[in-house]
Chain A
């Protein structure tokens, strides 16, 4: 008798989910890819260019779209996986809207949410006209126009690092890893679009962990004259000319600094996604003190949930860049296939 084809549900259609779905499909496994948005792609849909080489994000989007254009993959959009249950060897995924999917395994790839910058009230996001997030700036890059709220070009731009990361006040002790290099990339892009502008980055530490990141950081200073000030911005306000006024301590010079800005970019970090949190709570999956999914083993089991038939891929476990997300996702597929073969 012919063995029934294996079926895997991938919860989340961002970079990790798309890569996992594509890899599974190539191996002849039937995949149901469940995505909460209108289209798969996740946060990458919003991004204009990627670090470190500033390649167009569209190139990676194109690659991922091609990955899931496979007859073995059924994409369900505007839907989330709310709960995962077991029924014998089967896993049952309760979907939003009341439907259910039955499968042999689930890869959780629910990704991350960007930190809600409103929560750092002292920066005035949503109150002061010219305070934006790094994601908002990518939108401006997509429209090829970096401008203040009144449409005028900014002459002095400040990037505020670690917004919602490494910050006990918002209960996020973790580093979101990619914001530093994103700021470097965006600072260069701003300088290229607005050559007359001055750009300042206010940082705690510059964590240039990936290949070519350090080179990009140097390039930003040597070629593009981006200024780096080591210190955390304590508050922002506006003056009578509607220019932003920030207070920061320059910790290298050892003195407080007050500066006027035309545009302030908040480098928002990563938090566990809300659908991921709901899924973890409903399904009894462990989360760490950083509230991301906690893997069964930190070193050699980062794709394992500790629950039979449930695997983790990508930033639902911790902040990571696209390169690491794709690698992590492929590893999740390997663990899943090993599990399916052993049953």
Chain B
């Protein structure tokens, strides 16, 4: 493997990621599945990096899941996204920071459509005005929030309290990076590093001391695939896609899977539970499962955030072996205790205990 070859591609796919003043749009499902991730993003940006991030409570779903499930027409989703842009315009923001990869793909698709078919932009302006009385400016930039953490990865590394390094051996941890399909497979130019060898998570992993695993099924979809999961009869496809990835990465004995997409993080975490229940198989070293974390959660660990404050205990695959390797002292007994000492609900059959 020649790193220069990858660097050559990375140099071709650089995008403008603003330095400050973000209009933040949340994901529908991330707030449920990894409750701490979005809070950690905001905390890192505001408290650690001193950036201005604005949120508007009137922001809604982008309807992306409905769009990809063929129940929301393109005209509708354009108008919904135009409303988001109107909220940003009203607040005086021109840079959109998007938490969800599905939404990011939607925003990219809509902006490309408006660029190549200006009549669709005019129609959307008309539709939005008729429906809400709002007007909007097309944003100057759209960034996925992993782009933004990527941009500040070295600053985070300089503030690091822990690294992606095994404290006992001094060796870098082996990290699988998984990029959501809608991040750059549709429009490679919108992603840092393009579609085939995206750099967005690799850049973070390397800046924080880890080694990246490039395994045969690296590009393969996690299996979410909307229809594969939304249509219950198709869920076997979803499970099989994740399983294919686990089997492909297993020989490398990864310490961690880091993902930038809500669906990928969820499915690669939850399907490990399912596979263990059905077949009794786990894919990590020493019979462990492989923790699947978001890039914000990994950034939070690097910066010394309390894993339980970030909600890592609500992943099916627990991170205790990973935390031990990184030298992070997190008391397992505190995992399901709230700040006031009351007991939080504890999921059954957690992997890595």
What residues make up the interface of A, taking CB atoms closer than 8 Å to B?
A: 118, 121-122, 124-129, 235, 237-240, 242, 245
**Residues from chain A with Cβ under 8 Å of B219 in the complex:** 235, 237
- Distance of A129 Cα from B3 Cα, bound (Å): 11
Complex: how many Å from CA A235 to CA B9? 16
In the bound complex, residues from chain B placing their C-beta under 8 Å from that of A238 are 1, 214, 216
Q: Which residues of A contact B252 (CB under 8 A)?
A: 240
A151, chain B: closest CB distance, angstroms: 16
Q: Which residue of B lies closest to A242 (CB)?
A: B1
In residues 1-54 of chain B, which contact A (Cβ within 8 Å)?
1-2, 4-6, 8-9
B1, B2, B197, B251: which contacts A121 (Cβ < 8 A)?
A: B197
The 3 closest A-B pairs by CB, nearest first: A127-B5, A126-B5, A121-B196
Q: Is the CB of A127 within 8 A of B1?
A: yes
Q: Please, which residue of chain A has its CB at the minimum distance from the CB of B213?
A: A240
Set of chain B residues within 8 Å of A237, measured between Cβ atoms: 214-219
- What is the chain A residue whose CB lies nearest that of B196? A121
Provide 16 A-B residue pairs closer than 8 Å at the C-beta atoms, listed in order of the A residue: A121-B9, A121-B195, A121-B196, A126-B2, A126-B8, A127-B1, A127-B6, A127-B9, A127-B197, A128-B1, A128-B2, A128-B5, A235-B196, A237-B219, A240-B215, A242-B1
**Which residues on B sit within 8 Å (CB–CB) of A239?**
215-216, 251
CB neighbours (8 Å) of B214 from chain A are 237-238
Measured in the bound complex, the distance between the Cα atoms of B252 and A239 in whole Å is 9
A67 to chain B, nearest CB (A): 40
- Whole-angstrom distance between the Cβ of A144 and the nearest chain B Cβ: 25
Q: State the CA gap A124–B218 with chains docked (Å).
A: 13
A186 to B156, CA, bound (A): 52
The closest CB in chain B to the CB of A258 belongs to: B216
Contacts A121-B9, A121-B196 given; does A127 touch B2 at CB 8 Å:
yes
Residue interface bits B214-235, CB-to-A below 8 A is 1, else 0: 1111110000000000000000
The residues of A that contact B300 with a CB separation of less than 8 Å are none
B1 contacts A129, C-beta separation under 8 Å: yes
Of A126, A238, A240, A242, which is in contact with the most chain B CB atoms at under 10 Å from its CB?
A240
Give chain A nearest CB distance to B349 CB in angstroms.
Answer: 30
Q: Number of B residues whose C-beta is below 8 Å from A?
A: 19
- B194 on the A face (CB < 8 A): yes
| Residue ranges of B at the interface with A (Cβ–Cβ < 8 Å) | 1-2, 4-6, 8-9, 194-197, 214-219, 251-252
- Taken together as a complex, chains A and B put the C-alpha atoms of A129 and B217 apart, in Å, by 18
Q: Which of A118, A127, A128, A240 has most chain B Cβ within 10 Å? A: A127
Tell whether, in the assembled complex, residue B2 and residue A129 are in contact, meaning their CB atoms are under 8 Å apart: yes
Q: Whose C-beta in chain B lies nearest to the C-beta of A149?
A: B2
**Closest A residue by C-beta to B218:** A237
Residues of A near B215 (CB, < 8 A) are 237, 239-240
Measured between beta carbons, the chain B residues less than 8 angstroms from A118 are 5, 8-9
Residue in B2, B4, B196, B215 whose Cβ sees the most chain A Cβ within 10 Å: B196
> Whole-angstrom distance from the CB of B197 to the nearest CB of chain A?
7
How far apart are the CA atoms of A121 and B5 in the complex, in Å? 10
CB distance from A245 to the nearest CB of B (A): 4
Kindly list chain A residues whose C-beta atoms are within 8 Å of the C-beta of B195.
Answer: 121
CA separation between A312 and B218, bound complex, in Å? 47
Contacts of B1 in A (CB 8 A): 127-129, 238, 242
CA A163 – CA B47 in complex, angstroms?
50
- Whether B251 lies near A124 (C-beta < 8 A) is no
Q: A121-B195, A126-B4, A126-B8 are in contact. List 12 more A-B contacts (CB 8 A).
A: A121-B197, A124-B5, A126-B5, A127-B6, A128-B1, A128-B5, A235-B196, A235-B219, A237-B219, A238-B214, A239-B251, A240-B215
State how many angstroms separate the Cβ of B227 from the closest Cβ of chain A. 19
A240 to B217 alpha-carbon distance, docked (Å) = 12
Q: How far is the CA of A118 from the CA of B219 in the complex (A)?
A: 18
Indicate the member of B2, B5, B215, B219 with the most A CB atoms within 10 Å: B5
CB-CB nearest in chain A for B9: A121
CB of A3, distance to nearest CB on chain B (Å): 56
Chain A hits for B194, CB < 8 A: 121
Report the minimal beta-carbon distance from A149 to chain B, rounded to whole angstroms.
Answer: 9
Contact residues in B for A127 (Cβ distance below 8 Å): 1-2, 5-6, 9, 197
A126 to B2, CA, bound (A): 7
Docked Cα-Cα span, A125 to B214, in Å, equals 15
CA distance A245 to B214 in the complex (A): 12
B4 (CB) vs chain A CBs: closest residue: A126
Bound together, the chains give a CA A122 to CA B9 distance in angstroms of 11
Residue of B nearest to A122 (CB): B196
CA distance A122 to B218 in the complex (A): 12
Could you say which residues of chain A place their CB within 8 Å of the CB of B4? Answer: 126
Q: How far is the CA of A242 from the CA of B215 in the complex (A)?
A: 10
A197 → chain B, closest Cβ, in Å? 22
Q: How far is the CA of A235 from the CA of B214 in the complex (A)?
A: 14
